[in-house]
Structure 1
């Protein structure tokens, strides 16, 4: 499946070069800090990376990942849903753009918006949730731009990050009729799809 936006394209079919991109991104300390702020930076070597990739697959009914490309074809990250509860019609979502050069250009909000819109339309979900930590201001901004509202602040598994920042887990919720992107550039959730 391919989901097209104005700046990004989501694809659920991997390319051969995706693994090389991921390995390169795992060498980026800044992204790793925002992903796991309480874990000291320790980039894997290639052998450890390959071993972790072949260690086992997560069942596809509990999580799904789409790669994110620019409309020009550059692979810049991924979006995913996980912890799906079919009984309540709820799942969590995430967006990851590891390269800091891609930050602040609108790619993250559009990719997340396209994913959430697809989840409501294609899977009939009632609620979509997102979570990050309090110091990840770009992630918080991205989530809020997509129409989520903050619903909880909880203790993080560690009180402080490896850089000494206080840590809290921040959770957000979006419900089907409230999801929208608050900018003119992105299509409305209930508007025409750019899917094919």
Structure 2
């Protein structure tokens, strides 16, 4: 397990499935994690279990310090020669949004990926109006590297995607999370 200032990161457990089901079928959670509701949601428990436990080996649980599940974090699109990957995160407990839990989990996970996996570069992607996510990424040192025009379809309108990147040398490994 990885310990942050406010969070723990651990492997997903079968007991997490009920919370994952609730979060990924919640319109507001899905709106901010992907900009898609209901197209990316309305998933059956079996679909979530298959995706998160069988097909997605690099997805982990985020808990508060008491061990209560509050979200998920992970990485994909690994490029071994370039030592890069794409990160993703979602805090499912809406009462904890904007309180620093996501930043803490990301900082902890980024430190782990740079130190243990020896990644050189990490990227994240979100849609333009997801201002809370963009602010969180920028606070951790990510910089906007590109825009994908009309890459998301949100509320009946096309939205630009923002691509942000973080290089190992630009990340403070020792800086504690606020």
Q: TM over 0.5, yes or no?
A: yes
Return the TM-score normalized by structure 2. 0.87
Return the TM-score normalized by structure 1. 0.80
Which aligned pairs between 1:69-88 and structure 2 lie closer than 5 A?
69-88=63-82
Q: Tell me, what secondary structure is at the counterpart of 1:116?
A: helix
Q: Which runs of 5+ in 2 are unaligned?
A: none
Contact 1:33–1:41 at 8 Å: present in 2 too?
A: no
Q: Tell me, what secondary structure is at the counterpart of 2:54?
A: coil
Whole-angstrom distance in 2 between the partners of 1:42 and 1:58: 17
Match of 2:31 among 17, 30, 33: 33
Match of 2:54 among 54, 57, 78: 57
More helix by share: 2
Number of residue-to-residue matches in the alignment:
175
Contact 2:59–2:73 at 8 Å: present in 1 too?
A: yes
Do residues 143 (structure 1) and 137 (structure 2) align? yes
1:126 corresponding residue in structure 2 = 120
Q: Tell me, what secondary structure is at the counterpart of 1:135?
A: coil
Contact 1:150–1:173 at 8 Å: present in 2 too?
A: yes
| 1:26 Cα deviation from its structure 2 partner | 2.4
1:9 corresponding residue in structure 2 = 8
Contact 1:93–1:128 at 8 Å: present in 2 too?
A: yes
Query: What are the superposed Cα offsets for residues 62-99 of structure 1, whole Å, 9 maximum, x if unpaired?
Result: xx112100001110001101100001111111111123
Do residues 162 (structure 1) and 155 (structure 2) align? yes
Contact 1:81–1:92 at 8 Å: present in 2 too?
A: yes
Q: Which runs of 5+ in 1 are unaligned?
A: 181-188
